[in-house]
Amino acid sequence: MIISIANTKGGVGKTTLAVQIAIARALAGRDVWLIDGDRQGTAAAAIAARAEAQKLPGIACAQYADGAQLRAQVQQQAHKWEDIIIDVGGRDSTALRASLILADTLLVPFAPRSYDVWALDDMANLVDEARSVRDGLRSLAVMNQADPGANSSDNADAEAALADLPQFTYLPTPIRRRKAFSNAGGAGLSVVESLPRDQKAIAEINILVDSIFNVE
Ligand SMILES: Nc1ncnc2c1ncn2[C@@H]1O[C@H](COP(=O)(O)OP(=O)(O)O)[C@@H](O)[C@H]1O
Ligand SMILES: [Mg+2]
């Protein structure tokens, strides 16, 4: 499956989730290729840290910030991989648009902050545009950095705003703001691998990975 993790907004957790999902799939025995589609190269840096620490399984990672190059490489190499995870930079970039043409599934992380929720209109337009030139783009939105409080009104407001955007299937299982995610991500580790183990973080990632990949 080819997954594009995209949002024109930066800082919403695209790279964090891309790294978590890529490692989760590799730990499940899949052949995974992680593509860093952002000039800033944060995902590639995290995976380089993982390789330097000799952590197994190793994750194959390439960086193509240029959309045409990204598309050509993925089209040429796709048959070699079971899962391709594309982490796209926060802007309406050529890499983002290329990823929307290639992907089976788009995952849009967003934070429960009003300006982040407004920015989802841009992504909704891009989904419409992609669907006008291709069939079968599945589009999922997941709240990330959700307020840890169980009854947060910010979380509820963001969820309600999503209901107005039919372009997205909202995954009703948010990823909450947890130190385990920021600590593990920078080191190129899954929350499953990093110590001390945060069982809630692990459960959240497992549910996310399940919602993406275990479809009929
Ligand atoms: N669920 C989370 N809990 C805690 N920190 C998070 C979480 N998701 C992302 N972060 C932190 O937020 C910052 C932005 O995340 P990042 O994945 O780089 O966003 P993006 O790739 O969308 O720009 C990083 O410092 C990251 O460690
Ligand atoms: Mg990023």
Question: What percent of the chain is modeled with pLDDT above 90?
Answer: 85
Above 80 in pLDDT, residue 152? no
Q: Compute the average pLDDT of residues 25-32.
A: 98
Q: Compute the average pLDDT of residues 110-139.
A: 93
Total domain count, the chain: 1
Strands (DSSP E) along the chain, which ranges? 2-5, 32-37, 60-63, 83-88, 105-110, 138-143, 169-170
- Rounded to the nearest 5°, which phi and psi values hold at 12? -90, -10
Q: What is the CATH classification number for the domain harbouring 188?
A: 3.40.50.300
> From the alpha carbon of 16, which atom of ligand 1 is closest?
17
| Alpha-carbon distances, residue 169 vs 3, 79, 124, 172, 173 (angstroms) | 15, 28, 11, 9, 12
Residues in the chain: 216
Amino acid at 199: Q
Strands (DSSP E) along 28-97, which ranges? 32-37, 60-63, 83-88
Mean residue pLDDT of the chain comes to 95
Q: In what order do the strands lie in the sheet with 60-63?
A: 60-63, 32-37, 83-88, 2-5, 105-110, 138-143, 169-170
Band (14; pLDDT cuts 50, 70, 90) = very high
Q: Compute the average pLDDT of residues 197-213.
A: 98
The CA 121 to ligand 1 mean position distance, Å, reads 21
> From the alpha carbon of 7, which atom of ligand 1 is closest?
22
Q: Compute the average pLDDT of residues 8-30.
A: 97
Q: What is the DSSP letter of 34?
A: E
Q: Which residues pair with 32 in a beta bridge?
A: 83
The CA 156 to ligand 1 mean position distance, Å, reads 20
The CA 74 to ligand 1 mean position distance, Å, reads 26
Assess whether the C-beta atom of 175 lies below 6 angstroms from ligand 1: yes
Q: In terms of C-beta density within 10 A (0-12 exposed, 13-18 middle, 19 or more buried), how is residue 146 classed?
A: buried
The C-alpha atoms of residue 181 and residue 13 are separated, in whole angstroms, by 10
Ligand approaching nearest to the C-alpha of 10: 1
Band (158; pLDDT cuts 50, 70, 90) = confident
Q: pLDDT: is 163 or 55 the higher one?
A: 55
- For residue 114, what pLDDT is reported? 79
Q: Which residue has the tokens 């372009």?
A: 167
The range of the structural domain enclosing residue 111 comes to 2-213
| H-run or E-run covering 205 | helix 199-213
> From the alpha carbon of 185, which atom of ligand 1 is closest?
27
Q: Compute the average pLDDT of residues 71-93.
A: 94
- For residue 90, what pLDDT is reported? 78
Q: Which residue has the tokens 């910010």?
A: 154
Task: Reduce the DSSP state of residue 37 to 3 states and report it.
Answer: strand
54 phi-psi bin (left φ>0, alpha ψ -120 to 50, beta other): left
Band (128; pLDDT cuts 50, 70, 90) = very high
